[in-house]
Structure 1
Amino acid sequence: MPIENIKGRKDSQIHGSTIGVFMNCEVRCSHCGQASQNVLDYKCRKCGHPLEVQVGQDFQAEKISRKIWSIGRYLKFFPYMKDFDRTTLGEGWTPTVKLKEHVYFKLESLNPTGSFKDRGSVALLSALYTRAREAGGYLSEDSSGNAGASMAAYAARAGLTAKIYVPENVSGPKFSQIKFYGATVVRVHGSRQRVAEEAQKPEPGKYYVGHILHPLYRDGIRSLAYEIAEQFG
């Protein structure tokens, strides 16, 4: 579980390594509408704006797999999650607890690594698992805590290598959690933006899977809305 330190390179160019794959869903630029069919695209290749998964179906209760008590209940709503069984840690279907009238808590801390970020990690890794295994290399993520721990855990579950870029002042417990899951931890000197730039910097075999920018990661959080809809009837 090596630890690396980066003291300050100025190259802030952001490019993504590419693995062509058909994702069984429509992903388009939020600004210009340009389509993407590459599982590793995290920004529009035409204009550089964020990408979005186009959700083209209503929530249909009959498509829920009611014998599964995890995000797996909703796989028919996430057609790109082809390797879910190889990446899941049993995340999702967290309970809601009533505090007072009209106020409830959704206990996302009961997810495997302690946060809702597990929803995004399993969605993204379920989509890119096969290609990443075939191509080799490693997953790159930037995080100040929860997202890095989540990606490290799910990469370990899938048998993939992960490198997590963190701020120099990352909290001790989160730093230890990321290392515990077996990821390489890279401490980056400077701003949070510099951490992201280092994680996104192109290198051979490096695949950026950032939780802020990657559309499939963000789309995985959609499972939370489905659970709330079910739990409140």
Structure 2
Amino acid sequence: MTSYRCPDCGTGSSVESLAWRCPDCRGPWDLDFSAAPVARESLAGRVGSLWRYEEALPLSAPAVSLGEGRTPLVPLTPTVSVKLDFLMPTLSFKDRGAVMLAELARRLAPKRVIADSSGNAGTAVAAYCARAGLDCTVYVPEGTSAKKVEQIRAHGAHLELVTGDREATALAARAAADTPGTFYASHVFNPYFLHGTKTYVYELWEDLGGRLPEAIVVPVGNGTLLLGAAVALAELHAHGLIAERPALIAVQAEAVSPLAAAFHAGAEELLDDSATPARPTLAEGIAIPRPPRARQILRAVRESGGTFLTVTEDQIRAAQLDLAARGLFVESTGVACWAAAGTWTDRTAVVPLCGAGLKTGLAPQVQ
């Protein structure tokens, strides 16, 4: 195993220490890890999961895999394809990162694992901890979708329903994370999660014959898919496996869009909360008012030549119905990028469909 490194002050820590954030800056870790190049011609005959890209992963030979990854890529328009990441073992893209966290925790053998989530990351961590035989507690907001709560419980995890919003839930979990012997399986703070989500881009690169689209469109709350994509693009470019990096187009719900506001204001960090007040949104999975990796997200989008887009609640409802009419039932958070479709018609793009519609049902109409 490699080590953690703070991207802001350079402080390092052993992975075995179970330190979940930088003790000086109190921010998320990066991973001190260098991926080796993946030879596309070597992939034939390898395992049909994200672990086929073993040269690029900080862990190998997993004991907890459920066959995650290698999801279909389906063209929907002449320029836009969708990647069906809701066809994962727990029905969301979060399996890509959760399997890395559970495998790491299995090797470290902590007394307990905790996680916090708006739903999908919690169900994924619960499932993979069950696979690994680890004691797991998941913190979720009290308003979390009933189906996601049921799924977490079904996997045998202890459930902590937190009064308040997603931010209150994160604070409760972080307080518990400081208990000795605890592994905080944070999809936000732990960089192993990002090295799982980066396989999304490796799959695109493989499926498109060693190429990538001109734009990679991702929904952004805490930014775990976007930052994983940025890591993969940097690796593929550094190894000469792609000539140019695609633009990263980040999509937020208009009701909770602190990153979009900061980006368009030209800021390097989030604006004051009063400048971007949050409102209720159907896209619960990306309703994050203060993402801890905000600086990294904003920098990654700018460096790629990309941008931020926002979508309204009416656009989210319409996009969910439109995809369903095309045969794809996706949860309301997962349709956010499709709701923005049409903005980049002048270039090829791939949109992720991140969670199954059965997790939340159809978005309700406001009367």
Bin the TM-score by the shorter chain: 0.7 to 0.9
- Of residues 57, 61, 65, the one that matches 2:39 is 61
Change (3 A) 1:216 1:154: same
TM-score (norm 1): 0.81
Q: Which amino acid aligns with 2:202?
A: Y
Name whichever of 177-186 and 205-214 sits farther off: 205-214
Q: Partner residue of 2:114?
A: 140
The aligned counterpart of 1:102 is 79
Greater CA radius of gyration, 1 or 2? 2
> 1:165–1:195: 8 Å Cα contact kept in structure 2?
yes
Distance 2:66 2:149 in 1: 21
**Which among 140, 152, 168 is matched to residue 194 of structure 1?**
168
Deviates more, 1:68-77 or 1:108-117: 68-77
Q: Kindly report structure 1 stretches of 4+ aligned residues shifted beyond 6 Å.
A: none
Aligned counterpart in structure 1 of residue 15 of structure 2, from 29, 38, 53: 38
Question: Can you give the 5+ residue segments of structure 2 that lack an aligned partner in the other structure?
Answer: 210-367
User: Per-residue deviation at 1:38?
Assistant: 1.9
Aligned to 1:70: 49
SS at match of 2:159: strand
> How far has the Cα of 1:131 moved from its partner?
1.8
- The 1-side partners of 2:87 and 2:102 are apart by 20
Amino acid in structure 1 at the alignment position of 2:140: V
Mapped partners of 1:223, 1:109: distance in 2: 15
What is the deviation of 1:220?
A: 1.1
Give 1:68's aligned amino acid. Answer: V
Aligned to 1:128: 105
Give the alignment of 1:210-221 within 5 angstroms.
Answer: 210-221=186-197
- In structure 2, relative to structure 1, the CA distance for the partners of 1:41 and 1:228 (3 Å cut) is farther
Residue 51 of structure 1 deviates from its aligned partner by 1.4
How many pairs does the alignment contain? 205
Contact 2:71 2:84 in 1 (8 A): yes
Alignment equivalent of 2:155, drawn from 181, 184, 189: 181
The Cα shift of 1:191 comes to 2.8
Residue 67 (structure 2) aligns with: 90
Q: Distance in 2 between matches of 1:111 and 1:59?
A: 26
Shift of 1:228: 0.7
Q: In angstroms, what is the RMSD of aligned CA positions?
A: 1.9
Distance 1:58 1:82 in 2: 13
Counterpart check, 1:162 vs 2:106: no
Percent of aligned pairs sharing the same letter: 38
Distance 1:65 1:34, change over 3 A: farther
Task: Please give the residue correspondences for 1:24-35 in structure 2 after superposition, counting only pairs within 5 Å.
Answer: 24=2, 26-35=3-12
Deviation at 1:161, TM superposition (A): 1.1
- In the TM superposition, residue 67 of structure 1 has moved relative to its aligned partner by 2.1
Quick one: which amino acid aligns to residue 214 of structure 1? N
SS at match of 1:173: helix
In structure 2, distance between residues paired with 1:59 and 1:83: 18
| Greater relative CO, 1 or 2 (CA 8 Å, sep 6+) | 1
CA contact (8 A) 2:4 2:15 kept: no
Specify the SS of the correspondent of 1:100: coil
Unaligned 5+ segments in structure 1 are: 1-22
Q: Residue 114 of structure 2: SS of its match in structure 1? A: strand
Which residue identity is paired with 1:224? Y
CA deviation map 1:34-80 (0-9, x unaligned): 2232253332122222211245346431664742100120122113x
CA contact (8 A) 1:152 1:162 kept: yes
For 2:205, the equivalent position in structure 1 comes to 229
